[in-house]
Amino acid sequence: MWEKKISASMDDSLLNADKMRMQIAKKKIYDVCVIGSGAAGGFMVKELTAAGADTILIEAGDKGRLEDLYIHDWPYDLPKRGFGLFKQASLYGDDIGNAIEYRGDRIGVDRIRTLGGRTFHWNAVCLRFSADDFRERSLHGVEEDWPLSYEEIAPFYSFAERQMHVFGTREGLSQLPDGDFVAESPRLRCSETIAQKRLAKIGIKLIPVRKAVLLKGQKGPISRGACHYCGHCMDVCDVRAVWSSDVTVIPEAMATGKLTLRLNSPARKILVDNDGLVSGVSVVDRATGREEEIYARIVVVCCAAIESPRLLLNSACEKYPNGLANSNDLVGRYLSGHITAGAIGYLKDLIGKDTFAGDGATDHAYIPRFNQARGQSHGKRDYVGGWGMQMNYVTWQWPHHAKSVEGFGSAYKKRVRELQPAMFQIGAWGKVEHRVENRVTVDPKKVDKFGIPIPIVQFNWGENDLKLFRDMRESVMEALDACGVETVINRDERPGGFASHEVGTCGMGKDPKTSVLNAYCQSHEIKNLFVVDGSCFTTFSEKNPTLTIAALAVRSARHIAELRRRGEL
Ligand X SMILES: Cc1cc2nc3c(=O)[nH]c(=O)nc-3n(C[C@H](O)[C@H](O)[C@H](O)COP(=O)(O)OP(=O)(O)OC[C@H]3O[C@@H](n4cnc5c(N)ncnc54)[C@H](O)[C@@H]3O)c2cc1C
Q: Which does 545 bind (CB under 5 to 8 A by kind): ligand X, ligand SF4, none?
A: ligand X
Which of 59, 246, 252, 471 contacts ligand X by CB under 6 A? 59
How many CB atoms are closer than 10 A to CB 411?
11
Position 213 contacts ligand SF4 (CB under 6 A): yes
User: Please, what is the minimum distance in Å from the beta carbon of residue 411 to ligand SF4?
Assistant: 34
| Residue 473 engages ligand X in binding (rule: CB under 6 A) | no
Q: In 3D, which of 213, 212, 236, 216 has the Cα closest to residue 226?
A: 216
**Residue 507 contact partner, candidates ligand SF4, ligand X, none, CB within 5 to 8 A by sort of partner:** none
Q: Judged by CB under 6 A, does residue 117 bind ligand SF4?
A: no
Q: Answer yes or no whether residue 501 interacts with ligand X by CB under 6 A.
A: yes
The sign of the CA dihedral 80, 83, 87, 88 is negative
The residues in 427-446 that bind ligand SF4, with binding defined as CB under 6 A, are none
- According to CB under 6 A, which residues from 228 to 257 bind ligand X? 234
Asked if the bond preceding 43 is cis, omega within 30° of 0, the reply is no
Give the interface size with ligand X as a residue count (CB under 6 A). 37
Contact between residue 234 and residue 91 where contact means Cβ atoms under 8 Å apart? no
What is the footprint of ligand SF4 within residues 274-313 (CB under 6 A)?
none
- Tell whether residue 386 is a contact of ligand SF4 (CB under 6 A): no
Q: Strand pairing partners for 503?
A: 336
| Contact flag: residue 304 with ligand X (CB under 6 A) | yes
Q: 401 vs 5, 190, 320, 406, CA distance in Å?
A: 63, 19, 55, 10
Closest CB 247 distance from ligand SF4, rounded Å: 12
**Residue 124, interface with ligand X (CB under 6 A)?**
yes
For 553, the enclosing helix (H) or strand (E) is helix 546-565
At its nearest, how many Å lie between ligand SF4 and the CB of residue 125? 12
Which amino acid is residue 455, in one-letter code? P
Shortest Å, Cβ 241 to ligand SF4: 4
- Please give the size of the binding site for ligand SF4, defined by CB under 6 A: 14
SS3 543: coil
Contact of residue 506 among ligand X, ligand SF4, none (CB under 5-8 Å per partner type): none
Residue 533, contacted partner among ligand SF4, ligand X, none, CB below 5-8 A by kind: ligand X
Question: Quick check: 174 and 130 in contact, CB under 8 A?
Answer: yes
Q: CB under 5 to 8 A by kind: which of ligand X, ligand SF4, none does 231 bind? A: ligand SF4
Binding partner of residue 242 among ligand SF4, ligand X, none, CB under 5 to 8 Å per kind?
Answer: ligand SF4
Residue 469 is inside which H or E element, if any?
A: helix 463-483
Contact partner, 266, from ligand SF4, ligand X, none, Cβ < 5-8 Å per class: ligand X
Give the ranges where 368-408 is alpha helix by DSSP (H).
none
**Using the rule CB under 6 A, which residue among 33, 311, 526, 531 binds ligand X?**
311
Long-range contact list for 446-449, CB < 8 A, 24+ apart?
Answer: 446/101, 448/94, 448/95, 448/96, 448/99, 449/94, 449/95, 449/99
- Beta carbons within 10 angstroms of residue 426's beta carbon: 25
Closest separation between CB of residue 41 and ligand X, Å? 5
β-bridge partners, 167: 183, 211
The CA–CA distances, whole Å, from 419 to 405, 408, 539 equal 10, 15, 41
- Over the window 361 to 380, marking each residue x when it contacts ligand SF4 by CB under 6 A and - when it does not, the resulting string is xx------------------
- Figure out which of the listed residues 33, 125, 271, 472 binds ligand X, where binding follows CB under 6 A: 125
Based on the shown chain and the rule CB under 6 A, indicate whether residue 116 belongs to the binding site for ligand SF4.
Answer: no
Which of 36, 64, 421, 495 binds ligand X (CB under 6 A)? It is 36
The smaller minimum CB distance to ligand X, of residues 61 and 385, is found at 61
401 binds, among ligand X, ligand SF4, none (CB under 5 to 8 A by kind): none
Q: Which of 32, 40, 48, 551 binds ligand X (CB under 6 A)?
A: 40
> Smallest distance, Å, CB 61 to ligand X?
5
Binders of ligand SF4 among 218-247, rule CB under 6 A?
A: 227-233, 237, 239, 241-242
Q: Which one of ligand X, ligand SF4, none is in contact with 117 (Cβ closer than 5 to 8 A by kind)?
A: ligand X
> What angle is formed at CA 82 by the lines to CA 77 and CA 83, rounded to 5 degrees?
155
The set of residues, in sequence order, having a beta carbon less than 8 Å from that of 310 and lying 6+ positions away, is 303, 332, 440, 442, 453, 454, 455
For residues 535-569, one letter each, b for 16 or more C-beta atoms within 10 angstroms of the residue's C-beta and e for the rest, the string is: bbbbbbbbbbbbbbbbbbbbbbbbbbbebbeeeeb
Cβ contacts of 352 within 8 Å, gap of 6 or more: 418, 421, 422
Q: Give the three-class secondary structure for 270.
A: strand
User: To the nearest whole angstrom, how small is the minimum distance from the Cβ of residue 125 to ligand X?
Assistant: 3
Backbone angles phi, psi at 282, to 5 degrees: -100, 125
- The partner in contact with residue 36, picked from ligand SF4, ligand X, none with C-beta cut-offs of 5 to 8 angstroms by kind, is ligand X
Q: What is the DSSP string of 193-261?
A: HHHHHHHHHTT---EE--EEB-SS-B-SSS-BPPP--BS-GGG--TT--B--GGGTHHHHHHHTT-EEE
**Distance of closest approach, residue 184 Cβ to ligand SF4, in angstroms:** 16
Asked if residue 366 binds ligand X (CB under 6 A), the reply is no
In the stretch 154-193, what mask flags binding to ligand SF4 with x, by CB under 6 A?
----------------------------------------
Q: Select 238 or 285, whichever has its Cβ closest to ligand SF4.
A: 238
Q: Which does 241 bind (CB under 5 to 8 A by kind): ligand X, ligand SF4, none?
A: ligand SF4
Closest CA to 240 of 230, 262, 360, 189: 230
- Of 308, 163, 303, give the one whose Cα is nearest residue 245: 163
Binding residues for ligand X, per CB under 6 A? 35-41, 58-61, 110, 113, 117-119, 121-125, 234, 266-267, 302-304, 307, 311, 500-501, 533-534, 544-546, 549
Sites of contact with ligand SF4 (CB under 6 A): 213, 227-233, 237, 239, 241-242, 361-362
